Amino acid sequence: MIQDIAPHVYDNAFAHRREARPDDAVLITKDEKAVLIRETEDGFRFPTVAEVGDMPLRFGFLIDGIAYFFGEEGVEMEGFSYAKQAEFRAKKPRYLAFAAVTGFQLVRWMHTQNFCGACGTKLEPSTWERAFVCPKCGRINYPRLNPAVIVAVLHEDKILVTTYSDRPSKGMACIAGFAEIGETIEECVHREVFEETGLRVKNLRFYKSQPWSFTDTLLFGFYCELDGDDETVHVDPTELKEGHWIRREDMPDRSGEASLTAEMQEMFRRGQELR
């Protein structure tokens, strides 16, 4: 998955922020949708602090002791070009792709931190945590994370997948949806499955979570079983997706893909799903 970057180590502790050094990396984004990179023999890299010269830098995070700073928006540099966010799902090396998508998420958030949503006063970056604070009313804004579930519903060696009703050949998802205020993540699983398919499920097993920066989401992956024997899927006409049951032997190989959905479907194909 996209966050599986071992042996590289991502360190987002704000307490570890430090001044820039010449070999640190700089994320120069454009319109929150592209970042400046240089293609190399092994994949790509970002410009270094030494290469960007004099520009204001804001600390982001560390990977393997190298700090990633945010530089000036939209700058052009000889030998570098802008790569779009979507390209980083598959780009190698993966730890740098992870740095890019995590950077996009932080940039999108920072660009909304101008004025206090309550009193309209200009916000200031916190000096001791990753947040912006209002100097007048004291409100604190943290980076936005939307918790959501990915649910693999199983029944008799089959898995429930959803496809877009207008393009059934493109992509195979699991049931997915955002948590609502006042519900647990387990209640979210039951509600989303019922809303999308009319089915009831039981025996929830939490598998793994995944930071999915493309949509500011923190995903919680669950396996569960159909409750009962009626597999009939009732499609909600307002949903864009349709549910289908697929047999284990008919599942496509999804090894090596970036998403939690792909990994959960691949584990099922191999008979290694969480039981």
* Residues at the contact surface with Zn ion, assessed by CB under 5 A: 116, 118-119, 121, 134, 136-137, 139
Question: Do 155 and 231 form a contact (C-beta atoms < 8 A)?
Answer: yes
* Contacts with 161 (C-beta within 8 Å, 6 or more apart), sequence order: 172, 173, 174, 243, 244, 245, 246, 265
Query: Smallest distance from the beta carbon of 245 to Zn ion, in angstroms?
Result: 52
Residue closer to Zn ion (CB basis): 27 or 116: 116
- CA–centroid distance for 154 within its chain: 25
Residue 161 pairs in a beta bridge with: 244
Residue 83 pairs in a beta bridge with: 35
Residue closer to Zn ion (CB basis): 86 or 118: 118
Cα angle 21, 2, 98; round to 5 = 20
Q: Counting every residue, how long is the chain?
A: 275
Residue closer to Zn ion (CB basis): 14 or 115: 115
Task: Specify the residue for token string 């929150």.
Answer: 32
10 Å Cβ neighbour count for 211? Answer: 20
Query: Smallest distance from the beta carbon of 138 to Zn ion, in angstroms?
Result: 7
Amino acid of residue 249: E
Q: Is the peptide bond before 93 cis (omega within 30 degrees of 0)?
A: yes
Nearest-CA neighbor of 269 among 259, 255, 256?
255
Query: Smallest distance from the beta carbon of 127 to Zn ion, in angstroms?
Result: 17
Residue closer to Zn ion (CB basis): 135 or 171: 135
Residue closer to Zn ion (CB basis): 55 or 119: 119
Query: Smallest distance from the beta carbon of 118 to Zn ion, in angstroms?
Result: 5
Question: Do 98 and 10 form a contact (C-beta atoms < 8 A)?
Answer: yes
Query: Smallest distance from the beta carbon of 123 to Zn ion, in angstroms?
Result: 8
Residue closer to Zn ion (CB basis): 38 or 139: 139
Query: Smallest distance from the beta carbon of 134 to Zn ion, in angstroms?
Result: 3
Query: Smallest distance from the beta carbon of 142 to Zn ion, in angstroms?
Result: 15
Residue closer to Zn ion (CB basis): 114 or 121: 121
